[in-house]
Amino acid sequence: MSLDSFHTRVAPKLHQGCIKVAENIRRRIAERTVNTSTGASFNFTVSIGVFEYDGHPDYQRFLDSVDKALYVAKNNGRNNIYMG
C-alpha cells in the first residue's frame, strides 16, 4: 500500500528542523506493528523528500522539486529521508 505523497510547507531556513520531524515520523511509523483480526501483522515504512521552498512564484516548480526528492528517497532503498 502506498500513499504516494503528502506536502507541507514550513518557514524558510527551518529545513534542519524539518529533517528532525521527518525522521521522527519515519521512525515512529516503522516501529508500529499493525495486527489484523485474522492474526496477520505487518509494518509500514515511509520515505520522505524534503526541499526548501525558494520563494519562486511558480509553486508547481516547488512541488516538482519535492516530488523529485521523494522519489530519490524511495529509490535509495525506501524508509529513509532525502533532502533535495
* DSSP for residue 23: H
Q: What's the CATH code of the domain at 20?
A: 3.30.70.270
Range of the domain at 40: 15-83
Residue 5 lies in a domain: no
Give the confidence band of 1 by pLDDT, cuts at 50, 70, 90: very low
**Per the structure, how many domains does the chain have?**
1
| Whether pLDDT at 79 is above 80 | yes
Residue 75 lies in a domain: yes
- Which residues lie below 8 Å from residue 41, measured CB to CB, with a gap of 6+? 33, 34, 35
What digits encode the pLDDT tens for the residues 6-65? 666 666 667 778 888 889 999 999 999 999 999 999 998 888 888 887 788 888 888 888
Residue 9 lies in a domain: no
Residue 2 lies in a domain: no
Residue 56 lies in a domain: yes
Residue 45 lies in a domain: yes
Residue 8 lies in a domain: no
